[in-house]
Structure 1
Amino acid sequence: MMSIIFTIKEDDVELLPRIRAEQDEMPEALRKVAEVILDDPAETARMTIVDLAERSGTSTATITRFCRALGFSGYAELRVTIASQTGRAAQQHWDTDIGQEILPADGLDKVLGVVSNSDIRLIQETAAQLDLATVEKVAGVIKNAGRVLLFGVASSAAVAGEMEYRLQRIRVPTWSRSDAHSALTDAALLTDGDVAIGISHSGRTREVIEVLAEAAGHGAITVAVTSHPSSPLAEVAELVLTTAARETTFRSDGFAAIHSQLLVLDVVYVAVAQRTYERTKEAFDLTVRAVTGHRLDGGQ
């Protein structure tokens, strides 16, 4: 029988976003349970174990296995956590706009509400699930790296470019690539102590997986930034930083993960800056002076 152990801890992260991220990787029976929970968490919190088994078309044994895979001792603990988190969301009124469809005739006030509430919740979910011990490790290896390679495609490429700019600003030798051939070439030139960071919401982008695998083959430390910690990209990476994703109309898949990817990498960037404080301060002073002449008088 296939054994699945997920990374969810009820005391550490928001449970429902993590179930949402992991459900595609679950065995079919567990995925059915996840679908019922995510479809109506508040109703699930009121169900008995028999009710949930019947609703999901599974068995009570499957429900118990689902709970244990998530780190719970049994169904009672799972229900309490779901009830607590759904109750907290209702109290904070997150459900007012999150998840609503944006229709062609909707006014910009509704668009603003849906988008802003979704992004705020996304940031909170990402922060709640972020493994700070892993952030510490990533910051440490970047601090000591001879070279850092960042790679992502489509929207993730923009995130990689932003992180490249930030690290270069504090004198970390960094390159970002959005072309697979260029990224593979750079990955082949990495050596022990260098760092390769692959960014992919799905964790299934073939080019990003190939680049990390190539980098690892030459001794580089590999880091995955993904919303799916059991994805193929996560499997080839030495260190994994997870993000949350909350889709709204016109912003699906990778588009929905940009803010969470930026948050995770921004925390890494600040952690690197902390660890290189004197060098970072000097770099900021030099770069600010370099561009001072291009600012109009009277500006802040």
Structure 2
Amino acid sequence: MTEQHELPRFLGDLIAHNAARLTEADARLLDVLVRDPIRGAMENGKEVSSRAGVHPASAVRLARRLGFSGYPEFRTFLQANLVDSVAGDFENPAARMAARLVRAEEGDVLSSILDSEIAALQHVRTTVRDADIRAFSTALMKARKIFVLGRSHAATLSALIALRLRRSGYDSIDLAGQMHQLPEVLTGMTDQDVLWLLTFRKPAQVVLDVRAIAAETATTTLALSDLTGTRIDPAPDHQISVSRGGVGQSQSLVVPMTIANAVILDLAAIDGGNSLRALDTFKSFRAGLPTRLGR
């Protein structure tokens, strides 16, 4: 194969560079690959040839014509091309899933996920300060009422945070579970309250709208986001932005959930025992409920 640095970086450039040498079969194969690059990066040469309606050996001949030793090496190039292009396409769930599969060797999906989660968590250690955690917990401790909002995947974490805060004795509301009556819930928001936003990738419009309401009422606003979800205007009073992993990595809720757990634990450390007393009270109350209600 030609040295990698001599090859065009992307498939479109590679096609243009070799246009004069391509046959009709090559054109049909490339059309299949270009029309569905995600599927093309996952299939072998025989599968791509079948979809293009050409001889199975045609994919191998195309790969060699383009400067690769065979189709497996061309497929590796297609996969790298996919991962590079997905960097700007986080809103495409199919592309994100395909990039993760590309990163994982066959039969090694679990290890790949574990490795990406561990790497992302290690990154948190060097990018999030104890002072950032304390700024969140201090604001929560002083709040009359806490509004928590996350959409899409973040809605799951929103519900968990609100639940844990309620059990710790704080008046918290999961706005994601109140979408049908947001005006009624938000009408009482004041400058004594806290709004905790969770936003990953592109902020949902409702997140921006609620943030605007909080700004009008001088409600202290916290935001926990990944590095691509930072475009919140007006800017929150306190924000923790952290990577959930790179392109092709799992980018799950493990990182933001870990940070949320740290905030709630720190809150228990500074609120004079209020959280611990509330948890004991809740435990006793639940133990006295009928079995059907206590579980």
Q: TM-score, with normalisation over the residues of structure 1?
A: 0.57
Q: Which residue of 2 aligns with 1:191?
A: 190
Cross-structure match for 2:237: 238
Q: 1:248 to 1:187 in 2, by over 3 A?
A: same
Q: Does 2:260 align with 1:265?
A: yes
- Offset, 1:130: 1.0
Paired position in structure 2 for 1:101 = 102
Match of 2:201 in 1: 202
Which has the greater radius of gyration?
A: 2
* 1:212 aligned residue: 211
Number of equivalences: 192
Structure 1 pair 182–263 and aligned structure 2 pair: CA distance change class (3 A):
farther
- Matched residue type, 2:114: S
Q: Which residue of 1 aligns with 2:129?
A: 131
Aligned counterpart, 2:145: 147
Q: Structure 2: any 5+ residue segments left out of the alignment?
A: 1-98
- Identity value in percent: 16
Aligned to 2:286: 291
The C-alpha deviation readout for 1:55-90, integer Å capped at 9, x for no partner, is xxxxxxxxxxxxxxxxxxxxxxxxxxxxxxxxxxxx
* Pairwise CA distance, 1:277: 4.0
Distance 1:149 1:259 in 2: 22
Counterpart for residue 228 of structure 1: 227
C-alpha contact 1:203 1:234 (8 A) present in aligned 2: no
Code of the residue aligned with 1:144 in structure 2: it is: K
CA distance in 2, matches of 1:135, 1:182: 31
Q: Deviations over 1:236-261 (max 9, x none)?
A: 3111111212257695xxxx141111
SS at match of 1:233: coil
- Any conservation in 2 of the 1:126–1:242 contact (CA below 8 Å)? no
SS in 1 for 2:273: helix
Aligned with residue 159 of structure 1, among 157, 160, 165: 157
Task: Give the direction of change, closer, same or farther, for the CA distance of 1:247–1:230 in structure 2 (3 Å limit).
Answer: closer
Alpha-carbon separation, structure 1, partners of 2:252 and 2:233: 16
**RMSD between aligned residues:** 3.0
1:227·1:242 contact (CA, 8 Å) conserved in 2?
A: yes
Question: Would the alpha carbon gap of residues 249 and 269 (structure 1) be closer, same or farther in structure 2, given more than 3 Å must change?
Answer: same
Deviation track 1:152-201 (CA, whole Å, cap 9, x = no partner) reads: 11110000111111111110100112255544543342101200011111
State whether residues 160 and 176 of structure 1, in contact with CA within 8 Å, keep that contact through their aligned partners in structure 2: yes
CA distance in 2, matches of 1:184, 1:117: 43
Please give the TM-score of this superposition, normalised by the length of structure 2: 0.58
Runs of at least 4 residues of structure 1 off by over 4 A?
Answer: 247-251, 293-296
Task: Describe the shift of the 1:185–1:231 C-alpha distance in structure 2 as closer, same or farther (beyond 3 A).
Answer: farther
